[in-house]
Amino acid sequence: MKRALLAVVLLVAALAVVAIRAPAAWLADALAERTKLRLVDARGTVWQGSALVGVSNGRETTLLPGRLEWAVTGLRSGRVWTRTTHEWLAKPLEVGLGTSSLRFAKGSARLPAAALAATGAPFNTLRPGGVLELRWTDAELTRAAFDGELEVDWRDAQSALSPVVPLGSYRLSVAGRAGPASLELKTLTGPLEMRGSGTIEGSHIRFRGVAAAERDMQPALNGLLGLLGMRSGDKVLLAIDT
């Protein structure tokens, strides 16, 4: 009996040590199995560590600037909460991982628009420039629904395919109430006007809009407009259906 009890104690102790010292690479492997995100050069443990962040297209991984750091801060309301820091974040981001959803605390971020090229088409072709400014409320994300609000401003937008600099500034608003989220795109300033609306439901995005150039800028923007969508008179129809 004493030997059996000792064996159980040793087993529990071994499992506890493994759990406490679980390498950050385990987290990287789990993320790679479920998403296009990659944690490269992961250091530390699952509970506190750091890594470079990359986006994979299935053949190669494009690394993003800066190192991501995380630390598990506790268990609250049935969720494991972590504090994440990165040079793009205005302040550390609190993330709560549940069995079927993620909760994000209110926050903001600022990053170069060139980072969009890592996500693939169409941005890897457009090769965007400028700055992205993100702001979001407390939010919850599940496989099929989004509850919260997100605004993305693309300031001083540029493209390697256009000689016009800047093209303008634009705002994409995302809003959801525990269901499919709505999308709205509008132009803040600039010679290239883009507007439209749509929905996001799970991984399915449906968007319809139009793009047009100011009359005196049409010759300079004609090539870029032709790449954005199907022409309809002096406008271009924007469509995304994934």
Q: Each residue of 104-119: pLDDT tens digit?
A: 999 999 999 999 888 8
Q: Does one domain contain both 105 and 206?
A: yes
Q: What are phi and psi of 59, to 5 degrees?
A: -115, -40
- Is 93 inside any structural domain? no
Q: Does one domain contain both 45 and 156?
A: no
pLDDT of amino acid 147: 93
The 10 Å Cβ neighbour count of residue 107 is 19
- Is 91 inside any structural domain? no
**Residue whose pair of structure tokens reads 């385990």 in the numeric block:** 26
Q: Which of 15-29, 39-53, 177-191, 214-228 has the lowest mean pLDDT?
A: 15-29
- Is 147 inside any structural domain? yes
Residue 58 DSSP symbol: S
- Is 46 inside any structural domain? yes
Q: Does one domain contain both 220 and 104?
A: yes
Q: Does one domain contain both 164 and 57?
A: no
Q: Does one domain contain both 56 and 114?
A: no
Q: Does one domain contain both 105 and 189?
A: yes
pTM: 0.84
Q: Find all residues with CB under 8 Å of 74, minimum gap 6, and list them.
A: 80, 81
Q: Regarding predicted confidence, which is higher, 158 or 76?
A: 158
Say how far apart CA 215 and CA 66 lie, in whole Å. Answer: 41
pLDDT of amino acid 220: 92
- Is 83 inside any structural domain? no
- Is 24 inside any structural domain? yes
Say how far apart CA 109 and CA 204 lie, in whole Å. Answer: 25
pLDDT of amino acid 152: 97
**132-157 average pLDDT score:** 93
Query: Which of 72, 91, 121 finishes a domain?
Result: 72
Q: Does one domain contain both 47 and 151?
A: no
Q: Does one domain contain both 223 and 127?
A: yes
Count of the separate structural domains present in the chain: 2
Q: Does one domain contain both 46 and 8?
A: yes
- Is 82 inside any structural domain? no
Q: Does one domain contain both 134 and 196?
A: yes
Q: Does one domain contain both 60 and 113?
A: no
Which H/E stretch holds residue 155? Answer: strand 146-159
Residue 123 DSSP symbol: H
pLDDT of amino acid 207: 95
**118-147 average pLDDT score:** 89
pLDDT of amino acid 173: 97
| Residue 156 lies in domain | 100-241
Query: Which of 27, 56, 72 finishes a domain?
Result: 72
Query: Which of 34, 55, 72 finishes a domain?
Result: 72
Q: Does one domain contain both 108 and 148?
A: yes
- Is 95 inside any structural domain? no
Nearest Cα residue to 55 out of 121, 108, 109 = 121
Over 90: is that where the pLDDT of 10 sits?
no
Q: Find all residues with CB under 8 Å of 39, minimum gap 6, and list them.
A: 24, 27, 28, 31, 32, 51, 52, 53, 54, 68
